Every structure is written in C-alpha cells, then in structure tokens.
Structure 1
C-alpha cells in the first residue's frame, strides 16, 4: 500500500507550482496543469533550460483565474480561467509537436518579456485542439495532454528521493527537495525505484466514488532543470550539476536512449472527472514481462 503525499499543478509550463490538498483529474492530466505556455517569436516553447528565472514566477489560484507574481516585478498578471473568445490563433511547438494555440495578448506578452528580459508571448491551450501522447509508449491508448513535455501525469516516489539524497549525502552534497523533479503526484510507500516495475497505480476515490487508475508508461528522463532551485531560480555554487551527476552513476536507462530517469510518466486509465486528495490510499500492480 502507498499514500498520496503531494499534488501539484504548474499552470504555466516551466513556471512555479501550486500545491493542492485536492485536485481535479481530467483525461489530459490535473486541471489547469500546463494550460499556458511561454513561447518565442517562432512559437516554440521556452523553459527553465534557457531562462532559469522562470522558476521565480509564482502562480496562485483566485476565484476567476491564476495570478502570477515575481519578485522585482512592479505588478502581477491575472490569467482568467475563461478564454476571452477573441484570441488570435498562432502555431505553438512543444518538442516535435506543433499545433494551434491561443495568443493571450499584448499585456501578457509584455509582462513575460519584462520578467525574462527577452521578447516572448504567452499562449493558452485551445479547447478544440487535441494533442496526444506518443503511442509508442501508451500501448496504443489515446492519451491527451496539453503543454506538458509529453504525457498527462508525472508521478514521483518519496522512497526514491530518499535513496537519491542518501547518495548525495555520501559524497558530501546537500539533499535536493522533490520540487526539483516537478511531479504532479508524490507517492509514499514501497521501496526506492519500485516505480520502474509498476504497471498501474490505483488511488482511492473520495467517498462514494470509484478509484482512479493511472498507467505508468514511460520513465521520465531528467534534464538540467533538476539542478535549479525552484525557489531562487539559481544553481548551487558548489554543486551546480547535482543531482544529475549522482543520477549518472545509477539511473542511466536504455529504454530512453541512456537518459537519466527519475519518476514515471503516466496516463489516465479511469477516473477522469474525479478528484484526488492528499492522504488517499493507493496501491499498485507490478508489471510482469
């Protein structure tokens, strides 16, 4: 058995997280997760890989939308939940996927341009657009997602983080928090890296509701964003390449062309439209091949 210890959404791709006690699950992931995205002049997404300061853009839910703030900015920016209806459409690209998105206008573009110091625009995922995760990994399941790198949900394990931090401590490096890995769901239970062998994760529904079932489909390859403090937007002066240097010693994964993996990408098998709650019991089924 396991327990859900954390639920997180990232309304703007590569910006800060909102920690939730309860989260609405949709077929494309947690509601409002990666619903907005910052793009360059070509429509290609930008992230903390190029602009570590994006970590310092802090979102908060309000009644009518998501408010963004950042230290050093003289004003915040409100992103309404409801589209205006007159947004211009533009081409947006996430890795190899290019599709139409809604331009959020000049005010949002100017706010992000001031925040990052380069010309950028903000786009919203269009409700009439469907973007599917790679069927190479989803067992031919149609798994919609929005502006996430590739899959609806990212699950990480506290046991795995504890193992990684023990290895960091052994070399004198400071521990890293779970925020470095930007998960949607944090699970407590089982042995370190059990998630490598899990097929499905069933999470108990709220009273009167059936369980939510997620399928683990692809190990998550980690990038230099894991080296960025998600509060300060900076790297450790003495250990700038951690935790990647330590992951290199034991988490090279041939399934993802030698990538360094931590956590599992997941799709929604059942339970879209239901709510997940921190503290909910969960259990997993192992994959036997």
Structure 2
C-alpha cells in the first residue's frame, strides 16, 4: 500500500463560512489555530448555519497578517476586515448557544454585525470565543476532557481522498468537490473509507485518535460557489454509507498533544477500531 500522507489542510475561522486552504497549521487545545473561533449568531444568541441559511456559503474568509478579511463571492459588498486583537472596550460579552452548549463569547462590534446583517439579509452578530470559555467534547467520546471550538462536535475532521474518489465514481451527474464536506485534514494513499477504522495514529509527530465517524447533513448538498442546493451527494451516500439512519462520511478526531502539522506529513496507524 502506498504511504499515506496529509495532502490538504483547511481552517474555517468563522463557523459555516468559506474555508481556507493552508500549507501548515498550529494544533492547539481546541483544534487548529483560528479554526471556528468566530461564529455568527441571531438576536437570541443562537448560532447561524448553512443548514438553514445557504447564503452563508457566499461569504469567504481569508487570513491576513493581523486579522481576517471577509469578502462576498459575488462582490455584492465591500470587503470586511476583522482584526485579531480587539480594541480596548470594543464589543461586549454575551452568552451564545451552539447545539446544546451555552458558551460565553465576545461580540466583535456593532459595525461588524451590521455588515453581516446586510450581507445575509437577516439579523446577525459576529462573536469570538473567549480564551477562558471551556466548551467540552461530548463526554461519551472524550478521553481526557478535551475542548472544542465553535465546531459542531469535535476539534478535527479527517477525510481520505480515496473516499471522495469512491463517491464521485458513483455519482451519475456532476461530481462534488471536497469543500462540500468541510474537513480539516485530507490524506492520500489509503483505501476508500479506511479512516473509519482508525484508532490511534500520528500525523507527523502528533498523536490523534479516531473518535467516531461523522454524520453528514444538508450542508453537503450546497454548492459552495453559488449557494444552490441539490440532492447530491446525500442521495447517493445514503445507498451505501447509512448507519443508524445517518449518512457517514469522514472521521472525527481527538488529539493528545499540540504542535504543528503540514501538508506532506506522513500518517502512521498504531491501532484500528
């Protein structure tokens, strides 16, 4: 079998907006640095997602030296710059909800929230996770009280390129790109869906653990360039990737050490489920 190695790394600084391909990334307690540390919420503090608001796919985030740059893929708005370092006294601390969790966060500022309200055509506030906020991974799967950012459930999602290739070989109409599945890590060299079986493994020198397969939702049916919805790939995946009435694609990960990962890092499997 060819050696397996990391082929792509993605971060999604603002939950449910466009992701960023990077060549290397810092692994921190909550996941990759900058990954899902910001989130859009409604007036009640509940998180906003492409599941209900597909137009969020049209907002693209880019990393700058000192902040984030958000643009509209159809150039309908002027770009928005969000500095990493909040100005003294700007924003206010608020409680927000993401799935079943309530977390303290900092609203970035009124002007930023107004930009997103205009961009999405509905009330939206941008918040940032506070360093002292402790959102825990579901204890059913956590090994040592691991933390997670504003990501759905786990700090990382891994998908094999062979798994996507297998799916695309079954699709009768157009093929789907990897960005439909919003992974953090993509690897090459393995068999289709072999990531389902991974227990303990290393990416480069860093230890990871395959916690559970990822159950997929309607976001995978949204074209990330146009925000149009379809039926694929869920329709096809449901014919051969259904478990407990949920479509599985990709593996959620935990980790036990921080450091750096880079495209090209070798992957070594130590145990399988």
Partner of 2:241: 251
From 92, 109, 114, give the equivalent of 1:88.
92
Distance in 1 between the 2:86 and 2:145 partners?
Answer: 26
1:233 aligns with 2:227: yes
**Residue equivalent to 1:260:** 247
Tell me what 2:207 maps to: 213
Q: In the alignment, what sits opposite 1:190? A: 190
TM-score by length of 2: 0.95
Bigger mean CA offset, 50-59 vs 26-35: 50-59
Q: Which residue of 2 aligns with 1:125?
A: 129
Report the secondary structure of 1:196's partner residue: helix
- Gaps of at least 5 residues in structure 2 are none
Determine which of 227, 248, 264 is the counterpart of 1:279: 264
1:74 Cα shift? 3.2
Relative to structure 1, the CA distance from residue 145 to residue 85 in structure 2 (aligned partners, 3 Å threshold; closer, same or farther) is farther
Could you list the runs of 5+ residues in structure 1 that have no partner in the other structure? 205-210
Q: How far 1:85 sits from its partner (Å)?
A: 4.2
TM alignment of 1:1-289, pairs within 5 A: 1-70=3-72, 71-86=74-89, 87-138=91-142, 140-168=143-171, 172-204=172-204, 211-235=205-229, 240-254=230-244, 258-270=245-257, 272=258, 274-288=259-273
Report the secondary structure of 1:63's partner residue.
coil
Matched residues in 2 for 1:242 and 1:75: separation?
32
Deviation at 1:287, TM superposition (A): 2.2
Q: What secondary structure is seen at the aligned counterpart in 2 of 1:131?
A: coil
Structure 1 ranges of 4+ moved more than 2 A: 71-74, 83-87, 285-288
Is the CA contact 2:201–2:267 (under 8 Å) kept in the aligned structure 1? Answer: yes
How far did 1:59 drift? 1.0
- Aligned partners of 1:285, 1:249: CA distance in 2, in Å? 31
Scaled by the length of structure 1, the TM-score of the pair is 0.90
Supply the distance in 2 between the matched residues of 1:115 and 1:33 (Cα, whole angstroms). 22
> Using the alignment, how far apart are the partners of 1:157 and 1:8 within structure 2?
14
Distance 2:34 2:116 in 1: 19
Residue 110 of structure 1 aligns to a residue whose secondary structure is: helix
